[in-house]
Amino acid sequence: MKLIGYIRVSTDEQAKSGLGLESQRAKIEAYAALYGHELVGVINDDGFSAKSLKRPGIQTALASLSRGEAAGLLVFKLDRLTRSVSDMGGLIDKYFGEKAGKALVSVSDQIDTTTAGGRLVLNVLVSVSQWEREAIGERTAAALEAKAARGERKGGQAPLGTKWENKALATHEAENEVVDIIKALRATGMTLREIVEEINTKGVAVTRKGSKWHLTQVARIMKRVG
C-alpha cells in the first residue's frame, strides 16, 4: 500500500516527550518496511498543536490523499494527527471512512479504519485523548490562578510581541517590529518560504532562542496576526 507519513511535535513536546520528529520518522519507516508499505513521503509539522487541523503539514498530506497520490496516511500515534473528536469525525467522513476509502494507519494504536470496528476504536481513542488534553488544561489553569492569588507571576512564555517585566506583561518592541516586517512582506504576495529566506538574508532580528527563522515559526505568526 502506498502511504504518506505524517509526524508532528509541539513546542512543549520537543523538550519533554520522547516522541521527537526523528524518532517518529524512524518508527514509521520501520513499520512501512516491515509490512511492505511504500512511503511516498514523510511530512512534518514542527511546533504545532493538535488542537486543530490548521497546520501546513497536515493540510499538505491531506491534499496528497485527495489527489490520489497515496492510499492512506501513516502516523506513529493517533494524537500526532489530532486530539479533537470533531476534527477526527470530519477526517473519517472525508478521508478515512468506508465511503472515502483511504486508510489511516497508526503504528502504536494498531488502527484499521477500513472496518466499522476500527472506526469505533478510533473514536474511543480520540475521545480519551481529548479528555486528557482538557483535563491537563483545567489543572494548569487552576495552578496558575492559585499563583496569581498569591501575587506570583503566572509564568509561561509571554505571548508574541510581549515580555515579562516585574510580574506583568510589557510590550516587546523588537518582536513587534519583526511581526510588522513579516506582515508587510506577506502583503506583497510573498509565500511564507520566501518570507523566511528574505528575513534571514536581511538579518532581521533572530528568534527568542537566538536561531534563524524557520517556516513553521513564520506560519504561526501569520496564523496569530492574520
Q: Is the pLDDT of residue 7 over 80?
A: yes
Catalytic residue check, 127? no
What share of the chain has pLDDT > 90, as a percent? 22
Q: Is the pLDDT of residue 57 over 50?
A: yes
Mean of the pLDDT values across residues 98-121? 78
Distance between CA atoms of 226 and 86, rounded to whole angstroms?
Answer: 24
Amino acid at 54: K
Q: Is the pLDDT of residue 13 over 60?
A: no
Per-residue pLDDT of 132-175, as tens digits, reads: 666 766 766 666 566 555 555 555 666 666 777 776 667 777 77
Considering the entire predicted model, what is its pTM? Answer: 0.55
Q: Which of 10, 23, 49, 108 is catalytic?
A: 10
Q: Which three cell numbers stand for residue 26?
A: 524512524
Q: Is the pLDDT of residue 208 over 80?
A: no
Q: What band does 15 get if pLDDT is binned at 50, 70 and 90? A: very low
* Average pLDDT of the chain, as a whole number: 79
